Amino acid sequence: MASRICLLLLVAFLAGAFAGDVIEVNKSQREFDYFALSLQWPGTYCRGTRHCCSKNACCRGSDAPTQFTIHGLWPDYNDGSWPSCCYRSDFNEKEISTLMDGLEKYWPSLSCGSPSSCNGGKGSFWGHEWEKHGTCSSPVFHDEYNYFLTTLNIYLKYNVTDVLYQAGYVASNSEKYPLGGIVTAIQNAFHITPEVVCKKGAIDEIRICFYKDFKPRDCVGSKELTSRKSCPQYVSLPEYTPLDGEAMVLKMPTEREGL
Ligand code: U2P
Average pLDDT, the chain: 85
Distance from Cα 98 to the centre of ligand 1, integer Å: 27
Count Cα atoms within 13 angstroms, Cβ side, for 189: 19
Distance from Cα 38 to the centre of ligand 1, integer Å: 9
Does the pLDDT at position 250 exceed 80?
Answer: no
Tell me which of 51, 128, 131, 133 is the catalytic residue.
133
Does the pLDDT at position 22 exceed 50?
Answer: no
Report the alpha-carbon distance of residue 192 to residue 184 in Å, rounded.
9
Distance of CA 212 to CAs 54, 77, 190, Å? 35, 12, 16
Q: What is the pLDDT of residues 127-150, one digit of tens each?
A: 999 999 999 999 999 999 999 999
Q: CB-based contacts of 185: which residues, under 8 Å, 6+ apart?
A: 163, 164, 166, 167, 169
Our answer to whether residue 129 is catalytic in this structure is yes
**pLDDT band, residue 91 (cuts 50/70/90):** very high
Contact between 136 and 75 under an 8 Å Cβ cutoff? The reply is yes
Our answer to whether residue 128 is catalytic in this structure is no
Distance from Cα 13 to the centre of ligand 1, integer Å: 34
Does the pLDDT at position 87 exceed 90?
Answer: yes
- Our separate counts of H helices and E strands in the chain read 9, 7
- Supply the residue whose CA is at minimum distance from atom 20 of ligand 1: 259
Tell me which of 51, 129, 131, 195 is the catalytic residue.
129
- Nearest-atom number in ligand 1 for the CA of 259 is 18
82 lines ligand 1 (CB under 6 A): yes
- Classify strands 34-40 and 172-178 as parallel, antiparallel or unpaired: unpaired
Q: Which of 107, 195, 100, 89 is nearest to 151 (CA)?
A: 107
| Cα dihedral 65, 68, 74, 78 in deg (nearest 10) | 170
Does the pLDDT at position 17 exceed 60?
Answer: no
Mean pLDDT in residue range 240-249: 59
**Residue from 34, 74, 125 whose mutation best tests the ligand 1 pocket (most atoms within 8 A of CB):** 74
Q: What is the pLDDT of residues 99-127, one digit of tens each?
A: 999 999 999 999 999 999 898 899 999 99
Distance from Cα 259 to the centre of ligand 1, integer Å: 9
Our answer to whether residue 31 is catalytic in this structure is no
